[in-house]
């Protein structure tokens, strides 16, 4: 199967687009693909519990449901350390400790290792 990188830079201000990124990752995992998600920019805010619990995209579903399915299917979440720092997010703010803080070099490595990168 393929390796997919889903790079999400939009945040709660665009719930439909944000949830779509999670939905695509969830779908790829259910089809047997390896999936990594890298959240940067405003996308890092999606990993806050309050956002996961309340964000629902128009026609793209519940962020919490997608998140839980991704975690259950061993999808990997990486959260930009620089973007998080700029928004006051620390490792303790990350829901369920299921995401890893990462720097730009990790994003580059994931993109180079992926067969396909999709950005939201």
Count of the separate structural domains present in the chain? 1
Tell me the pTM: 0.95
CATH code of the domain covering residue 48: 3.40.1260.10
pLDDT tens for residues 1-29?
999 999 999 999 999 999 999 999 999 99
Strand 3-8's sheet: what is its strand order?
A: 99-102, 76-80, 34-39, 3-8, 116-119
Whole-angstrom CA distances from 86 to 13, 14, 62, 80, 102 are: 17, 19, 26, 10, 14
pLDDT tens for residues 73-108?
999 999 999 999 999 998 888 766 689 999 999 999
Tell me the angle at which helices 63-72 and 15-30 cross, rounded to the nearest 10 degrees: 30
pLDDT tens for residues 24-52?
999 999 999 999 999 999 999 999 999 99
Contact between 45 and 89 under an 8 Å Cβ cutoff? The reply is yes
Domain that holds residue 13: 3-119
Adjacent-strand bridge partners of 79 = 39, 101
């Amino acid at each position: 199967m393929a390796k997919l990188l889903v790079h999400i830079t939009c945040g709660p201000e665009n719930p439909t687009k944000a949830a779509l990124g999670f939905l695509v990752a969830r779908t790829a995992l259910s089809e047997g693909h390896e999936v990594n998600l890298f959240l940067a920019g405003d996308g890092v805010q999606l990993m806050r519990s309050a956002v996961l619990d309340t964000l629902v995209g128009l026609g793209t579903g519940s962020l919490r449901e997608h998140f839980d399915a991704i975690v259950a299917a061993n999808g990997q979440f990486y959260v930009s350390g620089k973007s998080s720092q700029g928004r006051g997010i620390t490792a303790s703010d990350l829901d369920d400790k299921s995401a890893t803080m990462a720097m730009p070099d990790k994003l580059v490595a994931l993109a180079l290792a992926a067969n396909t990168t999709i950005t939201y």
